Amino acid sequence: MSTAEGRAAAPRMHRRPRVAVWREQHTWCLRAGLRALAARPFGTALTVLVLGFALALPLSFYLLLANVQRLGGALSQSQSISVFLKSNADARVADALAAQLRSRVEVAEVTVESPAQGLSELGAVQGFGDALHALPDNPLPFVLLVQPKNGLARAQIDALVADLRTLPQIDLVQDNGAWRVRLDALIALGARITLLLAALLAIAALGVVGNTVRLDIRARADEIAVQRLVGASAAFVRRPYLYEGACYGLLAGLVAVALLLALEAGVAAPTRALAASYSGRIVFGGLSAAVLTLVPLAAALLGWMGAFLASTRYLLRSSFV
């Protein structure tokens, strides 16, 4: 190889891979963003706490709604239609009517409760025992507990109740399903409010991070001007502030998760007591690990977006882009 060919090959031999350059630039920008956070620890802590509480609020509402929905689902599984027979109906009439109702396709189960059983259950309620013993005879009628099949639409249950009220042996039909309709409506309303609240607080988080980054950019305006004079691109100038905003969001997301876990731990004991009062039919739970992992990542994305908007606006107004 000639001397000229060796000189031409030398730059190619010492040329660094683009991946290494990209990694080095991003590492420098990440360190610059972390140094900016560490330079004002008190202000950084206040900003992270404000963002963390703002993110924890919609998460708490979401946790409450999820458990209320789980509670309503568990209670609806044991829901039945109470059918009170006329006072002159005896056990034979009650059994015949129960067999007739069991043959209906929309009925899953029918339980016959005798007057003696009803009186015993009523006597177990505190304050009723002495009054019931004073009665000369049992005034309670036979009661049929009709359990509709799972998955029936509300209109089908209403039609079943209407049919039961037309039977001659029946005195009163008590449908306890109306509360479930109201509960579903309240849960749907709460879910909509939670989404709107989350959207508003996300916009507020964007504003908080954007304003914090904007103040940092203004304080380092001279440094940015020198970077541009030596040939730094707008993307390179913007990158440390993007990492700074992402770190704000990530730390705030971790604070929100910690607050949510503390809230779950604080209500664990009364929650277990409530579940035990329903013989374990109700199971309360917290947010899944996937959701808890997603929260800091989503918060970091929000912080990145806020920093991007603030830095881009500054660079445009400064004629750097």
What's 131's domain CATH number?
Answer: 3.30.70.3040
Report helix, strand or coil for 173.
strand
> Is the backbone of residue 172 left (phi > 0), alpha (psi -120 to 50) or beta?
beta
Residues 31 and 118 grouped into a single domain? no
- The span from the CA of 269 to the CA of 287, in Å, is 17
Report helix, strand or coil for 90.
coil
Does residue 65 lie within any of the structural domains?
Answer: yes
pLDDT in tens, the chain (321 residues): 444 444 444 445 456 677 777 777 778 878 877 888 888 888 889 989 999 998 898 888 888 887 777 776 655 555 678 888 888 888 888 888 888 888 888 888 888 888 777 767 665 554 555 555 555 566 678 888 888 887 777 788 888 888 888 888 888 888 766 676 777 788 788 888 888 988 888 888 888 888 888 888 888 777 777 877 777 777 778 888 888 889 999 999 999 999 988 888 887 777 777 766 665 556 667 778 888 899 999 999 999 999 898 888 887 776 555
> Is the backbone of residue 101 left (phi > 0), alpha (psi -120 to 50) or beta?
alpha
Does residue 14 lie within any of the structural domains?
Answer: no
DSSP state of 225: H
Last residue of a domain, one of 176, 207, 229: 176
Does residue 2 lie within any of the structural domains?
Answer: no
pTM, to two decimals: 0.66
Residues 250 and 292 grouped into a single domain? yes
Does residue 307 lie within any of the structural domains?
Answer: yes
The number of distinct structural domains making up the chain is 2
The upper half-sphere exposure of residue 94, i.e. CA atoms within 13 Å in the direction of its Cβ, equals: 22
Report helix, strand or coil for 292.
helix
Residues 123 and 153 grouped into a single domain? yes
Residues 203 and 239 grouped into a single domain? yes
Closest CA to 52 of 262, 205, 213, 195: 205
Q: Is 209 exposed, middle or buried (0-12, 13-18, 19+ CB in 10 A)?
A: buried
Residues 105 and 230 grouped into a single domain? no
Residues 91 and 230 grouped into a single domain? no
Residues 163 and 207 grouped into a single domain? no
Last residue of a domain, one of 176, 197, 216: 176
Does residue 16 lie within any of the structural domains?
Answer: no
Last residue of a domain, one of 176, 191, 217: 176
Closest CA to 299 of 254, 264, 261: 254
- Residue 147 phi/psi, 5-degree rounding, is -100, 110
Does residue 113 lie within any of the structural domains?
Answer: yes
Does residue 96 lie within any of the structural domains?
Answer: yes
Residues 202 and 310 grouped into a single domain? yes
Structural domain range at position 96: 80-176
Q: Which residues pair with 144 in a beta bridge?
A: 83, 112
Residues 187 and 262 grouped into a single domain? yes
Residues 218 and 299 grouped into a single domain? yes
Residues 193 and 90 grouped into a single domain? no
Does residue 7 lie within any of the structural domains?
Answer: no
- The span from the CA of 274 to the CA of 270, in Å, is 6
Residues 100 and 48 grouped into a single domain? no
Tokens of 130: 């002495």
